[in-house]
A = this chain, B = another copy of it.
Amino acid sequence: MENEFSFIKNKLRPLSFGRKEARGLSDDCALFPNINNLVISVDSSIEGVHVPLGTDLSVQARRAILRALSDLATFGSTPLCVFTAINIPNTFNSKSFDKIADGYRKALIEYDIFLAGGDIASYQGLPIFTVTVLGDKGSSTLGRKGAKKGDLIVVSGAIGDSFIGLKLLQNNNASFNEDKTLINKFLIPNPRIDIGKIIINYATSLIDISDGLLADLGHICKNSNVGAEIFIKDIPISKGAQNYIDSNVFSHIDLITGGDDYELLYTINPKDIKNLDNNSHIIGKIIEGDSLNLYSIDNQLLNPNDTFMGYKHF
């Protein structure tokens, strides 16, 4: 059965006709070296797929822009503006429109960018916010291809908050003081624009974590033709997320396969370790081959199997 990934790889990639700007449709963005190193990415956010049914429209709209901006961070690019296509239910009213505009406004102001154009169409379906982001001054040297054997694997912040936040939203079941923070990590992603601009100066590969830490590390490995070993004990976990691990509600595996973190995952040559800031955590290293070796909290090599590989859609 063909899925979205194989559709892109097998049927859409040939339509880039080998143009370098498209980067084989395998990176988060296209980059135009001849146009100010312009960086462009497109993302759709569908109610019921990317956010739970009934999520506040203002949050949906804001989140759609923030997610798209996260792609720009992987090229160290400065956000410039956004375009949007909004597909809205026929039943929408003035209040719905107010909420959408409000959500967009929040994201635009926060990143000092503007809405440059768009398209609105009403239909018999759920809200869909498709966002095209433009950024300039992208780095053409990065992407997912450059990881080398011996490189260290780094994440820019705590992993798994957003996964737990989503589960809390879905089950309407917050228990701990820190739960509101977890929920907000899901609803209001923090694209790592500023960190991206610094990292591009020394990272050898770079991706934002949207599909889950393991899956996105897999994207780097596959595109760089390398393997990786990572250590669960070294993966940063917030106090809020630790509550749920301690309570045996969620496992580390859940957190690193959950997705929607929008932290940056990247590789560096060990000589550049001095450049890392306090929020960056080395979680493993790049190895030869094509295996992804995962070590448990007590440093046991786990047996890879389908339960911890790849993104689980909700």
Interface set of A (CB-CB < 8 Å, partner B): 1-2, 4, 7-8, 11-12, 14-17, 19, 21-22, 25, 29-30, 35-36, 38, 40-44, 46, 48-50, 81, 83-85, 87, 93-94, 97-98, 100-101, 104-105, 108, 114-126, 128, 130, 132, 134, 136
Tell me if B94 and A12 are in contact (CB < 8 A): no
Q: With the chains together, A44 CA to B88 CA distance in Å?
A: 11
Does A93 lie within 8 Å of B123, measured CB to CB?
no
Are A81 and B117 neighbours in the complex by a CB distance under 8 Å?
A: no
Chain B proximity of A118: nearest CB distance (Å): 6
Q: Give chain B nearest CB distance to A85 CB in angstroms.
A: 4
In the complex, what residue of chain B is closest to A136 when comparing beta carbons?
A: B35
Q: Determine the distance from Cα of A126 to Cα of B126 in the docked complex, in whole angstroms.
A: 11
A12 to B100 alpha-carbon distance, docked (Å) = 9
Q: A36-B35, A116-B40 are in contact. Are A130 and B85 (CB under 8 A)?
A: yes
**Which 9 A/B pairs are nearest by Cβ-Cβ distance?**
A11-B101, A15-B115, A30-B116, A4-B120, A2-B94, A30-B117, A44-B85, A85-B130, A42-B83
Residues of the B chain whose Cβ atoms lie less than 8 Å from the Cβ of A19: 81, 114, 116
Q: A16-B115, A85-B44, A128-B87 are in contact. Are A8 and B121 (CB under 8 A)?
A: no
Tell whether, in the assembled complex, residue A12 and residue B83 are in contact, meaning their CB atoms are under 8 Å apart.
no
Asked whether A87 lies within 8 Å of B44 as measured between CB atoms, the reply is yes
7 A-B pairs, CB-CB below 8 angstroms? A14-B101, A38-B38, A40-B132, A43-B85, A44-B130, A49-B122, A132-B132
State whether A25 touches B115 (Cβ < 8 A): yes
Q: Which residues of B contact A87 (CB under 8 A)?
A: 44, 46, 87, 128
B11 and A84 contacting across the interface, CB-CB below 8 Å: no
Residues of chain B within 8 A of A85, CB atoms compared: 42-44, 85, 130
Note all chain B residues with C-beta closer than 8 A to A35: 35-36, 38, 136
Cα-based distance from A84 to B8 in the complex (angstroms)? 11
Q: Please judge, given known A-B contacts A15-B108, A101-B12, whether A44 and B119 are in contact too, CB under 8 Å.
A: yes
- Kindly state the separation between the CA atoms of A15 and B84 in the bound complex, as whole angstroms: 12
Of all chain B residues, the one with the shortest Cβ separation from A117 is B30
**A17-B114 contact in complex given A83-B30, A85-B42, A87-B44, C-beta closer than 8 Å:** yes
Partner of A117, one of B1, B17, B41, B116: B41
B121 adjacent to A46 (CB under 8 Å): yes
With beta carbons under 8 angstroms apart, the residue of B21, B30, B105, B123 that contacts A48 is: B123
Question: Known contacts A4-B120, A83-B132, A93-B2; is A115 also within 8 Å of B12 by CB?
Answer: yes
Given contacts A87-B128, A130-B85, contact A116 B46 (CB under 8 A): no
- CB neighbours (8 Å) of A120 from chain B are 4, 7-8
Q: Is the CB of B115 within 8 A of A22?
A: yes
Q: Chain B: which residue is nearest A34 at the CB level? A: B36
B48 contacts A4, CB within 8 Å?
no
Contacts of A117 in B (CB 8 A): 22, 25, 29-30, 40-42
